[in-house]
Amino acid sequence: MVGTVNAERAARTLEFGLYRDGDNNLDEVQSLTIVQALQTSARNPSIEFTVEDTTARRGLEPAHVLRTESYTIAGGGLSSNVHVSPPHDPSSRENLTRFVARTLDNAQNSAAKQTWIELVDHGGGDGGGLQADHGIGIMREDDIAGAIADGVALHARDHPEDAGRRVDGIVANQCLMATVAFSSALSHAGVKFLAASPETMLAPGVPTQVAGAIAKNLDDPAAMGKAVVSRTMSTHYGAEGERFGPAAAFDFIDLDGAKIGRMESSVKGLDAALVHAARDRSERSAIREDAKAVDGMVRFPDGDGLPWRADRPAIELYRTFAQDGRLDPDVRHAAREAADAVAATVLAHRESGNFRPFDGADYSDAYGPTVHFPIAHDQIDPWVGQGVSETDNAFYDTVGAADLARVVA
């Protein structure tokens, strides 16, 4: 059992929202994030966690009873106002909106300097994330970002005296969520930072202790990024002899509006240059060869049936185009511009060149976010019939990626 705390609310450094979707096969294993929050708050009383946990594990209620538990954690214990309700749908944009607003309300009450949200569940790159078995399916990435913006607006409507408060950062404890498209969507929602992996993750995933790294470096984003990435990539789970890390690669991304705007315009320019160049058969062949040479994500033995092999590390892909003398000079110049623009958003990164849980797969080129770049027709939304679309997002439309896919794939 854990204790409860009833102390007066003190000013906090960080309000950290923990939105956990346990309505699937990750319920038990990713519940460790709750334990980690208790441990982190005990060590650092300046951090408060706002928790919404949809779960059927044994906890505040008996096992096998699906419900949603809502409370706060501070000082190593749960708040006295624990609320247990019938299960929410964690994959619902409206539900995430309400949680964001509640987290911001708590941030206002505790005068928190920053507010972060951690999303704990399955993820699917540009297809979205937050997959509830009893819900509506997977939430589109644009809807995740939209829920953040909607939650900020809801808090501002109910608390006009605190209308300037924002969600400062997102921690995606999910697979494949470090993408240029998700970065773009979150930036337009007013989020400043994204901490996420461009690859599949192994549950429990990102340690909730990253909240401590964030709180310690509020005024130094570069140091914050390095601390968050280091804390994640140095974590190990499992028993002795079977230890494993949570991610093969992890990024801390700066979502500054000017940087993201430059990234969007440069990728749009590159895509247009590639469309023009691909009218020539030899250049089209070179484009396909270059893209094929850059491994997509999900590089583990059992990943053949998964659709994300067309999600390629954007910086490596664009630099490959930039160095290919077979391509038109305009393409190579545009590719350099795009690679530099994406790289400018990456404040911190770490990857593994020999990730043993994935049969020693090499991720040494997995620097920075991915981009959906299909080079065959069956790579374009292979799971769209199951409600997962990597092309149904604002970034894909903004940069003209559909025109490029029609020519190259």
pLDDT surpassing 90 at residue 62: no
Instruction: Indicate the pairing of strand 138-139 with strand 4-5.
Output: unpaired
Distance CA 343, CA 365 (A): 13
Residue 292's pLDDT band (cuts 50, 70, 90): very high
The lowest-confidence range among 73-77, 87-91, 372-376, 382-386 is: 382-386
Statement: residue 67 has pLDDT above 60: yes
User: What single-letter DSSP state applies at residue 244?
Assistant: B
How far apart are alpha carbons 93 and 145 in whole angstroms? 9
Could you give the CA distance from residue 325 to residue 197 in angstroms, rounded to a whole number? 32
The residue-averaged pLDDT of 243-270 equals 96
Q: Residue 287 and residue 256: Cα distance in Å, rounded?
A: 30
pLDDT, residue 120, reads 97
Q: Print the SS3 string covering 340-367.
A: HHHHCCEEEEEECCCEHHHCCECCCCCC
Q: Do residues 51 and 37 touch, judged by C-beta distance below 8 A?
A: yes
pLDDT tier for residue 384 given thresholds of 50, 70 and 90? confident
Predicted TM-score (pTM) of this structure: 0.95
For residues 315 and 320, what is the distance between their CA atoms, to the nearest angstrom?
9
Domains of the chain from N-terminus onward:
4-256 (3.40.50), 260-344+372-408 (no CATH)
Confidence of residue 305 (pLDDT cuts 50, 70, 90): confident
> Is the N-terminal amide bond of 204 cis, ω within 30° of 0?
yes
Average pLDDT, the chain: 93
pLDDT at 1: 32
DSSP letters along 75-124, please? TTEEES--EEESPP-TT-HHHHHHHHHHHHHHHHHTT-SEEEEEEES-B-
Q: DSSP for 291-325?
A: HHHS--S--STT-TTSSGGGEEEHHHHHHHHHT-T
pLDDT digits (tens, 9 = 90+) for 124-151: 999 999 998 887 789 999 999 999 999 9
At residue 10, the pLDDT reads 65
Residue 168 contacts by C-beta under 8 Å, 6 or more apart in sequence? 114, 115, 116, 191, 192, 193
| 89-103 residue pLDDT tens | 999 999 999 999 999
Distance CA 235, CA 247 (A): 9
Q: Which residue has the higher pLDDT, 317 or 200?
A: 317
Element (H, E) at 197: none
Q: What's the CA gap between 112 and 106, in Å, rounded?
A: 8
pLDDT for the residue numbered 137: 82
Counts for the chain of helices (H) and strands (E), in that order:
12, 15
Residue-wise pLDDT tens digits, 2-28: 333 334 456 799 999 999 999 999 999
Average pLDDT value for residue range 216-229: 98
| Beta bridge pairs of residue 118 | 18, 171
Q: Which two tokens stand for residue 131?
A: 């997959």
User: Angle at CA 395, nearest 5°, toward 379 and 277?
Assistant: 65
pLDDT in tens, 338-377: 999 999 999 999 999 888 888 888 888 999 999 999 999 9
